[in-house]
Chain A
């Protein structure tokens, strides 16, 4: 017992000493920082360019699908290094991203829902839509393909067969870009998706793919998310690059005349950067190594 106690006291003394050392070093660090800070301020004040350049922080609101593909993680450090800006990427569903834009909480948006984007610009919240890149949605489903969707069918054909055979279909149901695309395809068929076979999940793409896999159901997804999860899913691509599955991504700057506190210079810099030939080429290559297939194709037409 006594030996143990002495050990404990020794240990606690050791701990105390190390804590003391830690706090000392922390204090000295702080002291250093405080002495350095005023210097930086004066330096900044001395250079007139910095005053006009203003805010070096930009907020970009984007959809989960862009972010989940890893594209933002790939691009952001490059942008920050080359331009000196700090980029905060907020990844949300398209609906929430648009609301973030309307509330003046984002300087730039990178989204994919044409009708909403046009409304956003019309209402004066955004400057013009700049089409950057596209990819294809795909319809995935169980390999036994109970709806007997044939190769070469369009998305509309596929959806009709799903509804006719009442095969289970999982919908995002969250007003995301993907969900809106899905609704458009049902609409094109004049089908009102309802009933036991139609599950409106109200969840993100990854969750919905998991659900479809569990339920042996069909769903529509962006290719990037599907490819990144393919190994864990019991789902195959049933309809691939059909014209009615094209998915356009657009960059929109928030309108500084309508919204307060928008970093216009920063947003300009981002748009200029992302539409430069080098960056577009990099986006066009993105995913080739990892998935054996590029995730995005470029269709930027110039301003």
Chain B
């Protein structure tokens, strides 16, 4: 109990210390997770709506594949990205291993299936009614699609937040491909692992508290948006 209390104090100290390194770590965490979520969402929204609203050959297998990848262990995703970006790998010439770009790529790989999968199930549950009503009042295909998107906007936001939550809390993949390099690829989760390794449980827990606070703020606003409807 005592340790948790001192960690809380330590967390407050860290936030108010204006320490350049702490802010860099927090900032990089946000940059990487927001970039990966944005990229994943830009791909996942059209993909999810397309798969969820249409019937085509191989759809069942595709959906099952996406569902499987929703549970991909981050270290496996990290390993794959590592091997591709490694000097001996096919994209080694790009020289982006151990950079934030590599971390973003790994996170996109992890969260794209999650966001897509969640959108597919959301669209699936609404597409029939919207299609029938849309046709009933004589809307064209394009307009129906827009209506569908509009009707599904809340579950889509939820799906993106779920993906973001997974991205910012992720540690295995980004340690592998980022390297946890000070001032360059160190983010909150990898810093927590490092401080724990050093036996600095106070600082580790303090960083954990900061991480949780950020998640809380994001969730708060997300709910706020959803309740406005």
Chain A residues within 8 Å of B, Cβ to Cβ = 92-93, 95-100, 102, 173-176, 199-203, 207, 211, 214-215
- Of B98, B175, B179, B198, the residue contacting A175 (CB under 8 A) is B198
Q: Is the CB of A99 within 8 A of B199?
A: yes
Q: Across the interface, do A174 and B198 meet the contact criterion of CB distance under 8 Å?
A: yes
**Which of chain A's residues has its CB closest to B87's CB?**
A214
Bound complex: CA A185 to CA B186 (Å): 25
Q: Are B199 and A202 in contact (CB under 8 A)?
A: no
> Could you say which residues of chain A place their CB within 8 Å of the CB of B182?
173, 199-202
| CB of A59 to closest CB in B, whole Å | 16
List 4 A-B pairs, minimum CB-CB distance, nearest first: A99-B199, A200-B182, A95-B198, A202-B194
Query: A93's contact among B180, B184, B198, by CB below 8 Å, is which?
Result: B198
Given contacts A93-B198, A96-B199, A201-B180, list 11 more A-B pairs with CB under 8 A.
A93-B199, A97-B199, A98-B199, A99-B201, A102-B199, A173-B194, A174-B194, A175-B197, A200-B183, A202-B182, A214-B87
Q: Compute how far the CA of A246 lies from the CA of B93 in the bound complex, rounded to whole angstroms.
A: 38
* Chain B contact residues, majority secondary structure: loop
Known contacts A199-B184, A202-B190, A202-B194; A211/B199 CB under 8 A: no
Say yes or no: A202-B98 contact (C-beta < 8 A), given A92-B197, A174-B194. no
Evaluate whether A95 and B199 lie within 8 angstroms (CB atoms) in the complex, with A214-B86, A214-B97 already known: yes
CB < 8 Å: which of A96, A102, A215 contacts B198?
A: A96
> CA A93 – CA B190 in complex, angstroms?
15
Smallest CB–CB gap between A204 and chain B, Å? Answer: 8
Q: Are B199 and A100 in contact (CB under 8 A)?
A: yes
In this assembly, does B5 line the interface, its C-beta being within 8 Å of a C-beta of chain A?
no
Interface size on B, residues (CB 8 A): 21
Instruction: Tell me if A202 and B200 are in contact (CB < 8 A).
Output: no
Bound complex: CA A219 to CA B156 (Å): 47
Residues of A within 8 A of B184 (CB): 199
Docked complex Cα distance between A93 and B196 (Å): 9
**B196: which of A96, A102, A176 is its contact (CB, 8 Å)?**
A96
Interface residues of B (CB under 8 A from A): 86-87, 97-98, 175, 179-184, 186, 190-191, 194, 196-201
Give the shortest distance, in Å, between B199 (CB) and chain A (any CB): 3
Q: Please pick, from A96, A97, A200, the residue contacting B181 in the complex, using a CB distance under 8 A.
A: A200
Docked CA distance A215–B98 (Å): 9
Whether the pair B98, A214 counts as a contact (CB closer than 8 A) is yes
Pairwise interchain contact B197-A93, C-beta atoms closer than 8 A: yes
CB of B97 within 8 A of CB of A202, answer no
How far does the Cβ of B142 sit from chain A's closest Cβ, in whole Å? 44
Q: Which residue of A lies closest to B184 (CB)?
A: A199
Report the bound CA distance from A95 to B195 in whole Å.
9
Q: Which residues from A are CB-within-8-Å of B197?
A: 92-93, 95-96, 174-176
- Can you show 19 pairs from A to B with CB atoms below 8 A apart? A92-B197, A95-B198, A96-B196, A96-B197, A98-B199, A99-B199, A173-B194, A174-B198, A175-B197, A199-B184, A200-B183, A201-B179, A201-B181, A202-B190, A202-B191, A203-B175, A207-B179, A214-B98, A215-B98
**Whole-angstrom distance from the CB of B228 to the nearest CB of chain A?**
42
CA distance A174 to B97 in the complex (A): 20
Cα separation A99 to B197 with both chains bound (whole Å):
10
Residues of chain A within 8 A (CB-CB) of B181 are 199-202
Q: In the complex, what residues of B have CB within 8 A of residue A96's CB?
A: 196-199
Give the residue name and chain of the B residue nearest to A234 (CB).
B87
A196: min CB distance to chain B, Å: 9
Contact of B180 among A98, A99, A203, A214 (CB under 8 A): A203
In the assembled complex, the Cα of A79 lies from the Cα of B105 at a distance in Å of: 47
Cα A129 to Cα B180 with chains together (Å):
33
Among B87, B190, B191, B199, the most chain A Cβ lie within 10 Å of the Cβ of B199
Measured between beta carbons, the chain A residues less than 8 angstroms from B196 are 96
Shortest CB distance A123–B (Å): 14
Nearest B-chain residue to A199, judged by Cβ: B181
* A199 adjacent to B194 (CB under 8 Å): no
Contacts of A207 in B (CB 8 A): 179
